[in-house]
Structures are given as structure tokens and as C-alpha cells.
């Protein structure tokens, strides 16, 4: 959530920065300013009426003692009470409208984020590794999986419907091996604390990280209960400190977790329907950082490098791209995508998205810290995949495939297998 004080004091700056995403947000900022002005006027009026009521009430015992008529005072006190009730009801309505608008306004992009409409305007930062030159025609992972009997799409559909898959034997073992490998690297080499979290959360937790209310249609809600399945462990890891005040010397905090993730993929009809690239249930090792504001952009660069390390150890070619304003997520101020090479598609595909949300999520989730001089400030939160496990499995199957339809296991994973 954008700081209302910043909107109030520098609306043109906020409009210009949000306009880099979409010009429509200028109208929303105008509505915020209008409601904020009315809210502050109502607060002043309510305080004034309460002060008048208190003054009038003090006259009762004096008038009675002196034998004076108190009917006019009583009438005015009654009128004031009705006016306060009216203004308080309107204040509640205004505050609800104001909060609702603020919840739908995305984060402002950082100054160095390229302006653009979609993924075609993203900027490539670097590449690592050379895509393999095959002396045979590489086949897609779903054909490899079906030939080896380790990916079963029909049984996945029988059990749960479209975009669900059953893994057997080597695929199941490799999925498990990748999870353990990623967690080991991030905890032992990168300093993360491993966490095991619930995958069902309350709605206010999803409000904290920005999935609600805007992306409600992508979430799975438990019928009859006020709980949702998480779309990513970013939700639970970031909200570990929801409505808390940390101490400065506690920061930064690094958290990592493996969880299954659940997304309806409501806006992806017809996209990547073959294979396991885009599933309703998928595994991911998530990375979350909670930092001081002045450290967050250095931590973002480190976060990207930490996710890259997994691909480097696996020997998988990839590239890093800086997302433009039109392709960036709702909560992000700046995002790097890491895209791994997929031979059957002859292109790079996203395997990790690493973002700095600055204080956007912290304001929604009320995550603060106390500085050494006693001031309370909002933290900055960062998140990234370290990595998406299923997509890593795809990349291994395709990049390490053999002419006979089998595939090799990267050397570093063999001990995990």
C-alpha cells in the first residue's frame, strides 16, 4: 500500500510514477485525495462537536444550581449527538471507500525500471551458459516423461482435472531431490533460515502481501471456512512478522521454505496446456528477505545471485531480465526474472521472479522495526523463487536428454538421488 501521506503531500509525483504502469491510476489518486480530504474534515468536525457537547454538558449542574432553564442546553446536546452519529457513520463509510481504493492501487515502480507495455519491453541484463547444440531433434519434457512412464497426465486429470499431473519413479525422486538440494544451498551457503509453514491462511494474511483483494479469482478458497490455499510461500514467510515491531539489530531476516503452491491460473486459458510448465498445484522453494530500507536494493541483487547459483550448479543455461513497468507484479517496485533455456521451445522461460516491494507489503501487513534512536519505521520486503521446482525438473529433462529419450542427472544431484 502506498503511503497516504506521500499521496497527500506529493500527488503529482505519485501519479507520474504510477502512470508508468498505466495512466488509469491518476483518476484513482484523485479519488483518494478527495476521500482523504473529506475524512480529515469529518474528523475535525467530530472533534469540534464533541468539544461543544462537553462544554454544554458542564453547564447542566451550574444551571440547575442557579435554578435556570436547561431545556435549550438539553436540546442542543441532543442535536450535537445526532450530528456526531451522522458524521461518524459517514466517516466509517469514507474510510472503507478510501482503504478499498488504496488496496487496488499497485506499488510505484522504482526510478530505474524500464517503461513498457509487456514482456517484449523487458531488458536483458546478462546470460549464463550456452544452450546445448543437439545432434538429434530434442523432444519436449512431456514426451520424455510419457515414454519413460514417469509423468502421467491422464491419471492427473482423472484424479483432479486439467493442469494436474502424477509423477512416478525417477520424476518423483528428482522432484524431492531438487527440493532438498535447493534448501541445502540456501540454508548452508546463503544464510537462510528454513521454515515449515501452513499452506492454508486467513484472508488478512493474503491482504498483507497483496494477493487480496485484487487477485481473488486466482486463489483457491476452502468452502465453508475463512481460509485460502497459498499461491506461494511468499505469503506465509513475509507474514511471519505481520503486525509486529522488530528491533533494528534483528535485520535483515532471511527465510526459505518449500511448499506446494496452488493457483487457479484464471487468466491463462490456452497457455502452456501441455506438460507441467503451468499447473494448478506445483512445488516451489521460496526466498524472502526482510530488511532495512537503505539495504533493500543491495539485498535484491544478492537475492538474484542466490537464485542464479542453483541453475549454475545444475549446469542449466539461463538469462536475467529486468521487467518493464507493464510486466511487473502488483506489489513489486522492481523485479528481475530469471529465465532458463527450454530446448523444445527454443527459448528462455521464467523459473524465478525476484522482487523488491520496498515498504508496500510492510504497510499492508504492518511490519515495522524500531531504529537504534527509538524511531519506528516500515521494513522493506523482498521475495523470489529459489527455484520453481517443477520448471527446474523440465529444464533438466530437456537439457540433459539423450537420443533414446532418457535423460542424465546433473552431477551435483546424484547424491540426492
Q: Is 232 annotated as a binding residue?
A: yes
Q: Select from 104, 127, 160 the last residue of a domain.
A: 104
Domain identity same for 281 and 408: yes
Annotated active-site residue in 296, 331, 344, 353: 353
Domain identity same for 193 and 131: yes
Domain identity same for 13 and 132: no
Dist CA 280 CA 278 (whole Å): 7
Annotated active-site residue in 173, 176, 278, 377: 278
Q: Is residue 169 part of a domain?
A: yes
Output the average pLDDT for the chain.
Answer: 96
Alpha-carbon distances, residue 397 vs 36, 128, 157, 170, 192 (angstroms): 55, 19, 22, 11, 28
Dist CA 301 CA 354 (whole Å): 9
Domain identity same for 261 and 337: yes
Domain identity same for 96 and 123: no
CATH number, domain containing residue 92: 1.10.287.40
Domain identity same for 93 and 138: no
Domain identity same for 132 and 62: no
In this predicted structure, what is the pLDDT of residue 266? 67
350 is catalytic: yes
pLDDT per residue as tens digits for the range 243-267:
999 999 999 999 999 999 999 986 6
Domain identity same for 25 and 131: no
Domain identity same for 397 and 262: yes
The domain tally of the chain equals: 2
Q: Select from 104, 137, 168 the last residue of a domain.
A: 104
The closest alpha carbon to 143, from 410, 404, 413, 412, belongs to: 404
Domain holding 74, by residue range, is 4-104
Domain identity same for 58 and 155: no
The closest alpha carbon to 272, from 163, 380, 176, belongs to: 163
71 versus 166: which is more confidently predicted?
A: 166
Contact 398, 140 (CB under 8 A): yes
Q: Is 130 annotated as a binding residue?
A: no
Contact 195, 231 (CB under 8 A): no
Domain identity same for 139 and 216: yes
- Across the range 337-356, mean pLDDT stands at 98
Quickly state the pLDDT bin for 59 (edges 50, 70, 90): confident
The closest alpha carbon to 389, from 343, 348, 345, 340, belongs to: 340
For 27-87, the DSSP string reads: HHHHHHHHHHHHHHHHHHHHHHHHHHHHHHHHHHHHHHHHT---HHHHHHHHHHHHHHHHH
The residue with cell 533494528 is 248
For the whole model, what pTM was predicted? Answer: 0.93
The closest alpha carbon to 261, from 145, 385, 171, 106, belongs to: 385
391 is catalytic: yes
Domain identity same for 180 and 66: no
53 is catalytic: no
Amino acid at each position: 500500500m502506498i503511503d497516504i501521506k506521500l499521496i497527500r503531500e506529493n500527488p503529482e509525483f505519485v501519479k507520474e510514477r504510477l502512470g508508468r504502469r498505466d495512466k488509469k491510476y491518476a483518476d484513482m489518486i484523485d479519488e483518494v485525495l478527495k476521500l482523504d480530504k473529506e475524512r480529515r474534515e469529518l474528523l475535525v468536525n467530530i472533534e469540534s462537536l464533541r468539544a461543544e457537547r462537553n462544554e454544554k454538558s458542564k453547564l447542566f449542574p451550574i444551571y440547575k444550581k442557579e435554578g435556570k432553564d436547561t431545556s435549550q442546553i438539553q436540546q442542543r446536546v441532543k442535536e450535537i449527538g445526532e450530528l456526531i452519529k451522522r458524521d461518524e457513520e459517514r466517516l466509517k463509510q469514507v474510510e472503507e471507500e478510501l482503504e478499498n481504493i488504496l488496496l487496488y492501487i499497485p506499488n510505484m515502480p522504482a526510478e530505474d525500471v524500464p517503461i513498457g507495455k509487456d514482456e517484449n519491453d523487458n531488458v536483458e541484463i546478462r546470460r549464463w551458459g550456452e544452450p546445448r547444440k543437439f545432434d538429434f531433434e530434442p523432444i519436449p519434457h512431456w514426451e520424455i516423461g510419457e515414454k519413460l512412464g514417469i509423468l502421467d497426465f491422464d491419471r492427473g486429470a482423472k484424479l483432479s482435472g486439467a493442469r494436474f499431473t502424477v509423477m512416478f519413479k525417477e520424476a518423483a525422486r528428482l522432484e524431492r531431490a531438487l527440493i532438498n538440494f535447493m534448501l541445502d544451498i540456501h540454508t548452508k551457503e546463503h544464510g537462510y533460515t528454513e521454515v515449515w509453514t501452513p499452506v492454508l491462511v486467513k484472508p488478512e494474511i493474503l491482504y498483507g502481501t497483496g494477493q487480496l483483494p485484487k487477485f481473488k479469482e486466482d486463489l483457491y478458497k476452502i468452502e465453508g471456512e475463512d481460509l485460502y490455499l497459498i499461491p506461494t510461500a511468499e505469503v506465509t514467510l513475509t507474514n511471519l512478522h505481520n503486525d509486529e515491531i522488530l528491533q533494528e539489530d534483528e535485520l535483515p531476516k532471511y527465510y526459505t521454505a518449500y511448499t506446494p503452491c496452488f493457483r487457479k491460473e484464471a487468466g491463462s486459458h490456452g497457455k502452456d496446456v501441455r506438460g507441467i510448465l503451468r499447473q494448478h498445484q506445483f512445488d516451489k522453494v521460496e526466498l524472502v528477505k526482510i530488511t532495512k530500507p537503505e539495504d533493500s536494493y543491495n539485498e535484491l541483487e544478492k537475492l538474484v545471485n542466490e537464485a542464479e547459483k542453483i541453475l549454475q550448479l545444475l549446469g542449466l543455461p539461463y538469462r536475467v531480465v529486468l521487467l518493464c513497468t507493464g510486466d511487473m507484479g502488483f506489489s513489486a517496485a522492481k523485479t528481475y526474472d530469471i529465465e532458463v533455456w527450454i530446448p523444445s521451445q527454443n527459448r528462455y522461460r521464467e523459473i524465478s521472479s525476484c522482487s523488491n516491494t520496498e515498504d508496500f507489503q510492510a504497510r499492508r501487513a504492518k511490519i515495522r522495526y524500531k531504529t537504534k534512536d527509538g524511531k519506528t519505521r516500515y521494513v522493506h520486503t523482498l521475495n523470489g523463487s529459489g527455484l520453481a521446482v517443477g520448471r527446474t525438473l523440465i529444464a533438466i529433462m530437456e537439457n540433459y536428454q539423450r537420443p533414446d529419450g532418457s535423460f542424465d542427472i546433473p552431477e551435483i544431484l546424484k547424491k540426492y538421488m
